[in-house]
Amino acid sequence: MLAKLISGNNRLERIWLLAKIDFKKRYYDHGLGVLWALINPLFKLAVYYFVFTHIMTSRVPSFALYLFSGLITWLFFAQGSKKGINLLKNKKYLIESIQFEQLDLFLSGTLSIFLAFLFNLAAYFVIHFLYQVPIQPYTLYLPILILNTFVLVLGASILLATINIYIRDIEHAWDMVTLAGFWLTPIIYPKEALLDNFYFLAFINPMTGIVINFRETVLYGQAPLYNLFFYDIMYGIVLLVVAVFLYKKYAHKAVEKL
């Protein structure tokens, strides 16, 4: 009945065709195609179930500052890495017309996200002072944590862009990774809920340690968790070195494949 109604009405048929094309375009040129429309919600359901049944069991004091510090740090990583996936495709016209170091595209892209992060960080400190939370000497660790995040974003961007040249499904896969990363990072729940039960996750997801140490040093005025602090630094350096190596080895045909 609905099909007949649509086929007999040019306007409805156009609306239907445009909607169908737009839906297919979202998954066009990806190996699993529209299956991602089913995989993504099922994955979200699994992540939410795990977090709300196994991790989120207690409340957090000074929740506004706690939440804000975690959000701005995570968003810096999530937005920066997401931007990097299609950076080569979006800047293809530059690659084709200008001879320059292509890695500079990733550096400039990460820097643009970093500038937005600095505004968020300034807003955080405004709220920090409104809450009359004193600045402690351990806050001096913050620039290192920020630099660590910058290196992670840069490395992830280069690596994801390289993979995206050959495997277009990486964009949808990375959406699931960042979703899981958000909920498995103590952004809205106490760090103890994660570290006491799933400590190994802090070594899989380096943003866990960075978010925790941001709060330890800036919000609580305490020393960072040094094991996570140094591990995350090494993680960022190794990721960046590997990403640059793979890019230079496999991205030479980027223009033809994009």
pLDDT digits 0-9 by tens, 103-150: 888 888 888 888 888 888 888 888 888 888 888 899 999 999 999 999
Q: Which residue has the tokens 């919000």?
A: 219
pLDDT tens-digit profile of 185-220? Answer: 998 888 998 999 889 999 999 999 999 999 999 999
State how many domains the chain has.
Answer: 2
Residue 72 has pLDDT above 80, yes or no: yes
CA distances from 156 to 78, 107, 111, 190, 240 (A): 10, 12, 14, 27, 7
Amino acid (one-letter) located at 225: L
The answer on 201 and 77 residing in a single domain is yes
Buried b (16+ CB within 10 A) or exposed e, 162-198: bbbbeebbbbbbbbbbbbbbbbbbbbbbbbebbbeee
The answer on 80 and 5 residing in a single domain is no
Q: What is this structure's pTM?
A: 0.79
| Domain around 12 | 1-30
The answer on 207 and 105 residing in a single domain is yes
The answer on 36 and 25 residing in a single domain is no
Q: No. of H helices and E strands in the chain?
A: 14, 0
For residues 254 and 95, is the Cβ–Cβ distance under 8 A?
Answer: yes
Q: How far apart are the C-alpha atoms of 19 and 204, rounded to whole Å?
A: 39
The answer on 205 and 146 residing in a single domain is yes
The answer on 191 and 71 residing in a single domain is yes
The answer on 4 and 100 residing in a single domain is no
